[in-house]
C-alpha cells in the first residue's frame, strides 16, 4: 500500500530521493528546541480559528442598535463591527470558544516566539551561518506584534478604541511626517472613516498573515538548509558532526504530538479561561474611556514606556520636532529591535572577534559578556513592562502610582546594569568553578596513576 | 476442480503481485529493531480511543447545545487533542525506536559553484559595451516604475491636508449639550463631579468635540491673564481628549483628603497624564507634553451654557505642526 502511494508520487514528481532524505533528516534533541515549534503550531491554530471568525465578522462602522441576547447592552447604539463580535460571542454556537481560542493562541504565539528568541540569544544560536534565520525570526516577531494589535483593534469595543487612539497618537508623533502618515492610514483625522476599518481588516486577515507565512517559510527553509544547532552533550557532537534522531520515525510522532497538545491546551483555555470579555466594556466612542485598561500582554512594554516618559514635547520654536509618544511608542521599540538585529554583528566586531562557523551552541555561561548584556537588556524591557502595570500595582498593593513612576524612571537604568553585572559575574565564577573542578580531577588522576606505579613497583 | 482452483490462484497472483519486486534483505535494516512493548502499546491504543470518544462528544454537545456550551465544547475538543497528542508522545518514546544517528553538517560553502555562478553572469553580459550606463538605465527604469506603482497609495487619505487636525466644531454661541443632545444648564454643573459636553448639532466622535466640565469654587481658580474670562460662574470647560495619546479624560480627582490628594486634577486613565483644571489645564504629572486646551464659555439668558469662541490651543495629541497655529477659526 505504502509502496504503491510512493510509486505513484515518485513516477509523477520524481520526489522519492527527496522524500527519503526528508524522512532521515536529523533533529538534535533538547527541550528548548521545541519553543519555536510551539509558536508554529499556535500560528496554525490562529489561521484556522481566524478563518472561521472571518466568516462571521463584519468590518462595517455603520451604526446599528443591539437587540441580541446580552441584556446589559440592549438597545445600545454600536458599530456593526462590534455587533458582529457580540454575535460571535453570544449567538453563533461554538463562536465564543473559537474567538477565545483565537485570542489565547495569539497570546501564546507571541510568548512562544519570545521564549524561543531568548533561547536563541543566550545560546549564541544566531552566529554564522544562521544570522539570516535570526533576522527572519525577529521580523516575524515584529510583524506579529502589529498583527495582534490589529486583531484586538478590530473588535471595536471600548478597549480596542482606546488602543487605536493611542496608536493614532503614536503615528502622528513621528517627526516631520507623522500627521500626514496618520491621515493616510486613517483617511483623515482620528477616528477616521469606514475605510480605516476595512484597511485594518484586510491587513489583519490577508496582508500580515501572508507576510508572516512567507517569513516563516523562509525561516524554516534556512533552518533546514543549514541544519539545526546542537548542544555539546558528549564527544560525538562537534562543529562538523550533527547527532540527532531522524524525522521518521523518531521526530514525527514527537512533533505531531506537540502540535496536538498545543492545540488541545489552546482549545481548553478557549473553553475554560475567559479572555477579553468584549461585552463588558461596551462600544467605543472617542469621548469615553475606562480606568484599569490594559492591552494584551505583548504590548505591555510599550504602554510602560509611554507612561514613564516625563511630560515634554521636544519643540524648536513653534515647530514640534519630537512629540512625546514618539519616545515610548516608536523609539523605544526601535531601539530594542535595533539592539537585537545588530547584536550578532556587534558581538563579533567588538566582543568575541569570532567570525567562524558555529553549529555547537554555547551555554549562557560560556559567553559571560553576551549573557550579562542580554540579561541587562531583558531586565530593562521587563521593568518597563512592569511599569506599564503600575496602576494595577497601586490598586493591588497600595504603592502610590506617582512614586512608582518616579522610582521606575531611575531604576530602569540602574537595576539592569546591576543585574547584568551580577549575571556576568555568575557566568565567570561558574566557568572558574568548572576549570577548578577539571584541574582537581586531573590532579587526582595523576595521583592515582602515581599510586598505581608505586604498587606496581612494590613487589619488585 | 483442483486444477481450476490452481488456475484461479495463479491468475489472482498475476494480477495482484504483478509489480512486486524483491524486498530488501532482512539483514540490512534501515531502522533498527527493538523489543515489543505490549503494555505501552495498550496505553497508546487506549489514549487514541479516549481521544476519539472525546472528539465524538463534540458534535453531540454541539447538536444538543448543552449548557454551558463554550466550556463543554472546549473540554471535549481540547481534551481529545491532548489525549491524541499524549498517544503520539507514548508512541514516540516507547513504540518506535529512538535513534541517535550522526552525520556531517552540510559544507560551509561551495567555492567552485560560487565561481561558476559568477562566470555565468559575467559571460552572459559579455556583449554589452557600456555596462555601467546599461545598468543605470535599467535601474532607473525599475525605480521609476516602482515609484509609479506606489503613487496610488496617496489616494488612501488626505495626506497633504493637515487643516482638519486643527479644526474643531466649536464656534461662538454654540450650545453645550449632553450625550442625548439636551442642552446643559449652568445650574446642572455641581462641584466635585465632572460632566461631558458636546457642541450642539455637530459630530460627537470628532476629536475636537467633547468637553469635560467641572465647577470650581471661585477662590480656587488661578487662571493666567489671557484665560481669565474663559470660565462662566466658576465652570471651566476643557477638551476631553488628552494631549498625550488621544484617550478620553475620564477621571476627576477632587481633594477629599487634602494631605493625600493635594490638588484637584483631571486624569487620563491611559497613561495617567494629569492636568490642573484650576490654572488653565497645565500638566501636573505624566507624559503629556502640552496643556489641556480650554474653551471659553458663557451662560445665556435661559441659563444654558454656550461657547464664547474656540479653544485656546489645538486639540488632541501632538504632531509636528501642533504649535504652529491656533485652532480654526
Instruction: Give me the DSSP letters along A30-67.
Output: -GGGHHHHHHHHHHHHHHHHHHHHHTT------EEE--
Confidence of residue A414 (pLDDT cuts 50, 70, 90): very high
Q: Do A267 and B153 touch (CB under 8 A)?
A: no
* pTM to 2 decimal places: 0.92
Q: Is the pLDDT of residue B303 over 60?
A: yes
The single-letter DSSP state of residue A240 is S
Calpha distance A362→A230 (Å, rounded): 9
Using DSSP's 3-state secondary structure scheme, residue B286 falls into: coil
Please give the average per-residue pLDDT across A179-190, as a whole number: 95
The pLDDT confidence band at residue B218, using thresholds 50, 70 and 90, is confident
Q: How far is A272 from chain B (nearest CA, A)?
A: 5
Asked if A315 and A326 count as a contact pair (C-beta separation under 8 A), the reply is no
Q: Are A80 and A58 in contact (CB under 8 A)?
A: yes
How far apart are alpha carbons A244 and A24 in whole angstroms? 10
Q: How far is A161 from chain B (nearest CA, A)?
A: 9
* Measured distance CA(A295)–CA(A299) in Å, rounded: 6
A327: nearest CA partner in chain B:
B287
Residues in A 163-222 with any Cβ partner in B closer than 8 A:
165-166, 168-170, 172-173, 175-191, 195, 199
**Residue B87: closest CA among chain A residues belongs to which residue?**
A257
**Does B286 reach chain A within 8 Å, measured CB to CB?**
yes
Q: Residue B2's pLDDT is what?
A: 64
Nearest residue on chain B to A166, judged by CA atoms? B245
Please, which residues have CB within 8 angstroms of residue A188's CB and are 6 or more apart in sequence? B157, B158, B164
| B210 at interface of A, judged by CB pairs closer than 8 A | yes
Tell whether the model's pLDDT for residue B49 goes beyond 90. yes
From the list A431, A341, A402, the residue with the least C-alpha distance to A377 is A341
By the CB < 8 Å criterion, does A235 face chain B?
no
Interatomic CA distance for residues A284 and A276, integer angstroms = 15
Average pLDDT over every residue of A105-117: 98
3-state secondary structure B77-141: HHHHHHHHHHHHHHHHHHHCCCCCEEEECCCCCCHHHHHHHHHHHHHHCCCCCCHHHHHHHHHHH
Contacts of A309 in chain B (CB under 8 A): 287
pLDDT grade for B20, boundaries at 50, 70 and 90 = very low
Cβ-defined contact of B70 to A186 (cutoff 8 Å): no
Overall average pLDDT of the B42-52 stretch? 98
Gap between the Cα atoms of A12 and A27, Å rounded: 29
Question: Under an 8 A CB cutoff, do A260 and B164 touch?
Answer: no
Instruction: Check residue B21 and give its pLDDT.
Output: 47
φ and ψ of A367, to 5 deg:
-130, 80
Provide the pLDDT for residue B42: 96
ipTM for the whole predicted complex goes beyond 0.90 = yes
Which chain A residues are within 8 Å of B154, Cβ to Cβ? 184
Q: Which pLDDT score is estimated for A293?
A: 80
| Number of CB atoms found within 10 A of residue B218's CB | 8
Q: What pLDDT score does B71 carry?
A: 97
User: Closest residue of A to B283, CA-based?
Assistant: A311
B320/A325 CB distance under 8 A? no
Report which DSSP code applies to B156.
G
Q: What is the pLDDT of residue A451?
A: 79
Amino acid at each position: 500500500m505504502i509502496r504503491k502511494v510512493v510509486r505513484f508520487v515518485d513516477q509523477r514528481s520524481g520526489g522519492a530521493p527527496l522524500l527519503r532524505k526528508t524522512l532521515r533528516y536529523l533533529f538534535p534533541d533538547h527541550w528548548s528546541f521545541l519553543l519555536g515549534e510551539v509558536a508554529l503550531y499556535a500560528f496554525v491554530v490562529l489561521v484556522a480559528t481566524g478563518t472561521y471568525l472571518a466568516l462571521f465578522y463584519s468590518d462595517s462602522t455603520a451604526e446599528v442598535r443591539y437587540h441580541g441576547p446580552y441584556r446589559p447592552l440592549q438597545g445600545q447604539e454600536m458599530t456593526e463591527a462590534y455587533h458582529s463580535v457580540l454575535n460571535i460571542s453570544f449567538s453563533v454556537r461554538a463562536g465564543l470558544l473559537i474567538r477565545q481560542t483565537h485570542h489565547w493562541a495569539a497570546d501564546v504565539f507571541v510568548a512562544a516566539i519570545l521564549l524561543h528568541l531568548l533561547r536563541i540569544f543566550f545560546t549564541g544560536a544566531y552566529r554564522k551561518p544562521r544570522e539570516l534565520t535570526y533576522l527572519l525570526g525577529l521580523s516575524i516577531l515584529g510583524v506579529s506584534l502589529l498583527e495582534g494589535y490589529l486583531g484586538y483593534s478590530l473588535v471595536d469595543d471600548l478597549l480596542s478604541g482606546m488602543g487605536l487612539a493611542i496608536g493614532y497618537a503614536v503615528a502622528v508623533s513621528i517627526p516631520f511626517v507623522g500627521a500626514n502618515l496618520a491621515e493616510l492610514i486613517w483617511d483623515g483625522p482620528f477616528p477616521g472613516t469606514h475605510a480605516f476599518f476595512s484597511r485594518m481588516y484586510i491587513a489583519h486577515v490577508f496582508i500580515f498573515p501572508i507576510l508572516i507565512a512567507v517569513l516563516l517559510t523562509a525561516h524554516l527553509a534556512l533552518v533546514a538548509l543549514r541544519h539545526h544547532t546542537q548542544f555539546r552533550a558528549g564527544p560525538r557532537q562537534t562543529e562538523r558532526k550533527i547527532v540527532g534522531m531522524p524525522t521518521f520515525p523518531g521526530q514525527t510522532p514527537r512533533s505531531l504530538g506537540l502540535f496536538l497538545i498545543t492545540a488541545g491546551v489552546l482549545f481548553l483555555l478557549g473553553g475554560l479561561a475567559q479572555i477579553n470579555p468584549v461585552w463588558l466594556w461596551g462600544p467605543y466612542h472617542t469621548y469615553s474611556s475606562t480606568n484599569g485598561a490594559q492591552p494584551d500582554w505583548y504590548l505591555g512594554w510599550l504602554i510602560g514606556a509611554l507612561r514613564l516618559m516625563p511630560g515634554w514635547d521636544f519643540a524648536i520654536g513653534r515647530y514640534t520636532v519630537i512629540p512625546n509618544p514618539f519616545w515610548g511608542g516608536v523609539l523605544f521599540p526601535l531601539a530594542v529591535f535595533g539592539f537585537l538585529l545588530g547584536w550578532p554583528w556587534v558581538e563579533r566586531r567588538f566582543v568575541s572577534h569570532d567570525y567562524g562557523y558555529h553549529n555547537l551552541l554555547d551555554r549562557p555561561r560560556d559567553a559571560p559578556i553576551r549573557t550579562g548584556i542580554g540579561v541587562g537588556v531583558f531586565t530593562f524591557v521587563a521593568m518597563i513592562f512592569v511599569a506599564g502595570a503600575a496602576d494595577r500595582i497601586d490598586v493591588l498593593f497600595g504603592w502610590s502610582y506617582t512614586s512608582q513612576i518616579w522610582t521606575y524612571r531611575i531604576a530602569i537604568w540602574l537595576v539592569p546594569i546591576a543585574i547584568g553585572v551580577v549575571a556576568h559575574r555568575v557566568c565567570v565564577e561558574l566557568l572558574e568553578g568548572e576549570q577548578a573542578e577539571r584541574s582537581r580531577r586531573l590532579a587526582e588522576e595523576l595521583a592515582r596513576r602515581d599510586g598505581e606505579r608505586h604498587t606496581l613497583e612494590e613487589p619488585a | 476442480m483442483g486444477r481450476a482452483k490452481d488456475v484461479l490462484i495463479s491468475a489472482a497472483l498475476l494480477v495482484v503481485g504483478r509489480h512486486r519486486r524483491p524486498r530488501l534483505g532482512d539483514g540490512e535494516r534501515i531502522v533498527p529493531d527493538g523489543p515489543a512493548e505490549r503494555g505501552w502499546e495498550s496505553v497508546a491504543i487506549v489514549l487514541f480511543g479516549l481521544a476519539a470518544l472525546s472528539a465524538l462528544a463534540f458534535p453531540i454537545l454541539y447538536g444538543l447545545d448543552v449548557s454551558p456550551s463554550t466550556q463543554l465544547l472546549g473540554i471535549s475538543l481540547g481534551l481529545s487533542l491532548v489525549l491524541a497528542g499524549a498517544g503520539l508522545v507514548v508512541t514516540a518514546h516507547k513504540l518506535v525506536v529512538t535513534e541517535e544517528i550522526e552525520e556531517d553538517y552540510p559544507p560551509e560553502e561551495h567555492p567552485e559553484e560560487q565561481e561558476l555562478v559568477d562566470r555565468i553572469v559575467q559571460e552572459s553580459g559579455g556583449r554589452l559595451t557600456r555596462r555601467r550606463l546599461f545598468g543605470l538605465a535599467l535601474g532607473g527604469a525599475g525605480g521609476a516604475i516602482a515609484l509609479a506603482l506606489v503613487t496610488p497609495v496617496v489616494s488612501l487619505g488626505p495626506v497633504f491636508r493637515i487643516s482638519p487636525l486643527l479644526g474643531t466644531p466649536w464656534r461662538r454661541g454654540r450650545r453645550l449639550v449632553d450625550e442625548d443632545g439636551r442642552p446643559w444648564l449652568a445650574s446642572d454643573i455641581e462641584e466635585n463631579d465632572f460632566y461631558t459636553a458636546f457642541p450642539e448639532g455637530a459630530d460627537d466622535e470628532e476629536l475636537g468635540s467633547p468637553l469635560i466640565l467641572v465647577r470650581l469654587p471661585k477662590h480656587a481658580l488661578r487662571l493666567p491673564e489671557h484665560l481669565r474670562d474663559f470660565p462662566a460662574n466658576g465652570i471651566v470647560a476643557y477638551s476631553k481628549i488628552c494631549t498625550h495619546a488621544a484617550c478620553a479624560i475620564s477621571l476627576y480627582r477632587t481633594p477629599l483628603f487634602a494631605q493625600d490628594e493635594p490638588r484637584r486634577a483631571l486624569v487620563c486613565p491611559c497613561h495617567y497624564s494629569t492636568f490642573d483644571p484650576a490654572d488653565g489645564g497645565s500638566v501636573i504629572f505624566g507624559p503629556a507634553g502640552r496643556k489641556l486646551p480650554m474653551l471659553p464659555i458663557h451662560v445665556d439668558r435661559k441659563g444654558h451654557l454656550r461657547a464664547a469662541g474656540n479653544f485656546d490651543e489645538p486639540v488632541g495629541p501632538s504632531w509636528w505642526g501642533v504649535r504652529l497655529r491656533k485652532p480654526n477659526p
